[in-house]
């Protein structure tokens, strides 16, 4: 018996909440658990060791093509999407989604495509909204959607986004989530006729798998937007999924509206810092030219250079204040804390 498929997504604050979650599981859980936690692509993940100490189930990094077993926890390794196929796992370095690899949505989406109503999707603590589109795909295929209570989450954006955009089945504190998963894992699935996998879900899953037919296809789900992909500069196509607004470019990079806005804000901040540096360098150079002109007895030109230097400094100060105001604003709304900047 293969049992249920439980897919779990977490970001900032995820290690703590995952530790609490697995502690509440039973050793005879009739399900296989797959986990995506946003991690640095260049780091070494020790999450399997942490979860092995925290709960009764064996945890390990997923391996390409490995046949998965019930009662185990498989974790996406750094810089690889973890995808679910019938009976086995696939690891790919496909296009980032919501600026992450591994990303939550590809795991949820491929699990929903392969196992339909046998899937239980879980969204935990994290910033922005990775996991919302994937959880919607789980529900579309008849699965169960469970979300951590955002009021107790260290970072509530991901749980709140899921609740606002998906008809979730259960909102629960993490202390009660292990028992809830045990309950749903044992609960028989009602016989029902599932809707076929949508063309959009099929293509997005194929893109994550790097299937040539999908990657090189001239057809793209959705309609062309006015926005450029912040990762590659290509045109973004707008996708409609229930109430969600999402975007995907020709090469496969995918963004929710929130993650696209975050990337645009980062690009704007970088441009402002570049402008500030250029103005400060201009002021320094103008003053050197003013000094040279003064030494040569050309006071009029020296005065002109000095005025240009002052003007550059004033414009630079305006940009500096804009940057600082933006940083303070983002810190106050909790969206750009150092601990949660996307890797």
Active site residues: 11, 38, 130
The span from the CA of 263 to the CA of 255, in Å, is: 9
Q: Are 142 and 34 in contact (CB under 8 A)?
A: no
The span from the CA of 314 to the CA of 100, in Å, is: 38
Walk across the sheet containing 244-249 and list its strands: 223-228, 235-241, 244-249, 254-256
Structure tokens at 89: 């796992």
CA 325 vs CA 113, 273, 314, 322: distances in Å: 44, 13, 17, 5
Residue entry with tokens 């986004």:
161
Structure tokens at 294: 């003064």
Classified as helix, coil or strand, 207 is helix
| Counts for the chain of helices (H) and strands (E), in that order | 10, 13
Phi/psi of residue 8, each to 5°? -125, 135
Classified as helix, coil or strand, 49 is helix
Q: Which long-range contacts (CB under 8 A, 24 or more apart) does 55-61 make?
A: 55/19, 55/21, 55/22, 55/23, 55/24, 55/25, 55/178, 56/22, 56/25, 56/26, 56/27, 57/22, 57/25, 57/27, 57/29, 57/33, 59/22
């Amino acid at each position: 018996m293969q049992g249920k498929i439980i897919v779990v997504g977490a970001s900032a604050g995820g290690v703590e909440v995952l530790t609490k979650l697995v502690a509440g599981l039973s050793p005879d859980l009739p399900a296989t658990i797959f986990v995506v936690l946003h991690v640095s692509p260049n780091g070494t993940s020790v999450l399997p060791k942490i979860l092995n100490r925290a709960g009764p189930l064996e945890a390990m990094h997923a391996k390409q093509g490995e046949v998965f077993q019930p009662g185990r926890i498989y974790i996406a390794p750094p810089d690889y999407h973890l995808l679910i196929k019938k009976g086995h796992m696939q690891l790919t370095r496909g296009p980032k989604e919501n600026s992450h690899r591994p990303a939550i949505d590809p795991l949820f989406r491929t699990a929903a495509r392969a196992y339909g109503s046998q899937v239980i999707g879980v969204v935990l603590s994290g910033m922005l909204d990775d996991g919302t589109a994937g959880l919607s795909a789980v529900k579309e295929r008849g699965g169960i959607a469970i979300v951590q209570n955002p009021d107790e989450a260290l970072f509530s954006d991901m749980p709140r986004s899921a609740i606002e955009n998906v008809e979730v089945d259960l909102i629960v504190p993490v202390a009660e989530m292990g028992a809830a998963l045990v309950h749903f894992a044992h609960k028989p699935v009602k016989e029902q006729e599932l809707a076929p996998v949508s063309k959009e879900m099929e293509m997005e899953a194929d893109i994550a798998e790097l299937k040539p037919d999908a990657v090189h296809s001239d057809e793209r789900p959705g309609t062309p937007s006015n926005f450029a992909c912040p990762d590659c500069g290509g045109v973004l196509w707008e996708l409609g999924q229930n109430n969600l607004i999402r975007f995907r470019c020709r090469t496969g990079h995918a963004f929710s509206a929130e993650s696209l806005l975050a990337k645009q804000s980062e690009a704007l901040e970088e441009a402002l810092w570049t402008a500030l540096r250029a103005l400060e360098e201009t002021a320094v150079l103008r003053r050197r030219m003013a000094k040279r002109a003064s030494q040569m007895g050309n006071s009029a030109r020296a005065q002109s250079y000095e005025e240009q230097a002052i003007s550059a400094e004033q414009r630079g100060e305006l940009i500096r204040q804009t940057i600082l105001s933006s940083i303070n604003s983002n810190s106050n709304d909790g969206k750009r804390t150092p601990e949660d900047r996307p890797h």
